[in-house]
Chain A
Amino acid sequence: MAKKTPEINATSTADIAFLLLVFFLATTTMNVDSGLYRRLPPYQPENQKAPEVAKRNILQILVNQNDMVMINDSPADVSTIKERTIEFILNPGNRSDLPSKELKNIDMFGQVEVSKGLISLKSDRGTSYRVYVAVQDQLTAAFNEMRNMKANEKWGKNFNELTPEQQDAVKDVIPMLVSEAEPNVIGGKK
C-alpha cells in the first residue's frame, strides 16, 4: 500500500498571492498623456483668400529654420513671448499700434471690451519641434494668465476653479486667437 503523503500546508499561498497582487497594483503606472491642446482650423482650398486683418491687430511671431524667433520684425527671445502677448492682447494704455477693442455682450460679464488681437505664428519647415512647442507653451501661458486675471477680477478664483459656464464666459472675453500660417520653405527642405 502506498504511503499517504502528508498534505502540504497551504496557508502561505494567500500571502504569496497578495504579494503578487500588490506588485501588479504598484507597477501598473497608468502613464497619463499630457500636452498642449489645440484645435486646427478647418481645411480650406488653397486658392481661398485669407481675410484681411488690420496691421495693428496682428502680432506676428516668426520662427526660422535656425530656431530664431522674430516678433513683429525684430529678433526676440522665446521667453519674452509671454509678456509681449499679454501686453499685446490687453493693450492697457489703448495705444494705437496695439489691437483695437470691441464692445461685446457676454453673459455673466455684460458689456465688456474684447480685444481684436490675433497672433500669427509662422514657422519654417526646418524649425525644430522643441522650439515650436516652447513658443506654443509661452502663448498658452500668456492666455492662461490673462484668463486667470479676468477670473480673479470677477469671481476671485482661478480660471480652472470656475464652473464650465463661467470658464466659457471668460474664454469669450479673452479668446485665444492663434492663427498658423502655412509654412513656406525658406531654409530648404528638411
Chain B
Amino acid sequence: MAKFKKEGKRETPAISTASLPDIVFMLLFFFMVSTTMREVSLMVNNGMPEATQTVKLEKKALVSNIYVGKPKDQFQGAYGTEPRIQLNDHFAGVEDLQAFVASERESRKEEDRNSITNNLKVDQDVTMGIVTDIKQELRKANSLKVNYGSRKKATR
C-alpha cells in the first residue's frame, strides 16, 4: 500500500526570487546596449542659434550631421581659431564635403539614399561665408535637403 504521509501544516513554499536580479539585469543590459549613443565627440564650439519655428527632425537614421564652429580650446593650438567644419570625428575642409556626402550615401540603404537630410549644426557666431561654401558643395553633390539646426526659442 502506498504510504501517505500527512504533515501537520501545509504551507505553500515561497516563490524563489533568486532569478529576479538576473531578469532585471537582462533588461538593464538591453537598454544600455540598445540606446546607441552614436554621438560624435564635438571638437568645435556648437552654440546653435535660436529660432521660433523649428521643426523636429524625424528619422534620425537619415540625418547626417555637419558641425561648424570655432575649434575648442584644446584644438586651437593645432587648428587655429577660425571656424572649421567637423565631419564625423575629424576636422575637414570644404573640399572634403563631397566625399563625405558620398560616403554617407554609401552607408544608407539603396532606397534611402535620396532622402538624407544634412543637418547643419552651425555655431551662431560663425559667418555665412563658410555656410555658403558648404551649401554650394552640397548642391554640387546633389544632396539638397538641409536643416539649419537651431534651438527652440520659448515663445513669449
**Chain A residues in the interface with B (C-beta under 8 A):** 10-11, 13-14, 16-18, 20-21, 24-25, 28, 30, 32-43, 65, 123-130, 132-134, 136-137, 140-141, 144, 180, 182-183, 189-190
Contact = CB atoms under 8 A, between A and B. Distances in A.
A38 B135 CA distance: 11
Nearest to B140: A43
A127 B129 CA distance: 8
B51 A136 contact: yes
A147 to B, nearest CB: 12
A141 B51 CA distance: 10
A37 B152 contact: no
Nearest to A145: B53
B129 A128 contact: no
A129 B122 contact: yes
Interface string B113-156: 00001011111111111011001101110101111111110000
A36 B148 contact: yes
Given A35-B54, A129-B128, 16 more contacts: A13-B21, A17-B21, A21-B31, A28-B31, A34-B54, A34-B152, A35-B55, A35-B120, A35-B147, A36-B54, A40-B138, A40-B139, A127-B127, A129-B123, A133-B51, A134-B51
Contact of B128 (A20, A25, A28, A124): A124
Contacts of A32: 56-57
B17 A33 contact: no
A141 B145 CA distance: 20
Contacts, number: 153
Contacts of A144: 53
A132 B128 contact: yes
A125 B129 contact: yes
Given A123-B128, A128-B125, A129-B131, A37 B51 contact: no
Contacts of B139: 40-43
- Say what secondary structure dominates the interface of chain B: mixed
Interface string B12-34: 00000110110011011001100
17 contacts: A17-B28, A21-B27, A21-B28, A28-B31, A32-B57, A33-B60, A33-B65, A33-B149, A34-B54, A34-B55, A34-B152, A38-B146, A127-B127, A128-B124, A132-B128, A133-B124, A133-B150
- Please give me the 3 A-B residue pairs with the lowest Cβ-Cβ distance, nearest first: A125-B129, A13-B21, A17-B24
Given A18-B24, A21-B28, A34-B151, A129 B126 contact: yes
Contact of A36 (B125, B127, B150): B150
Contacts of B31: 21, 24-25, 28
B21 A126 contact: no
B134 to A, nearest CB: 10
Interface in B27-46: 27-28, 31-32, 35, 37
A124 B127 CA distance: 9
Contacts of B51: 35-36, 133-134, 136-137, 140
Contact of B145 (A28, A39, A126): A39
Nearest to B39: A31
B104 to A, nearest CB: 15
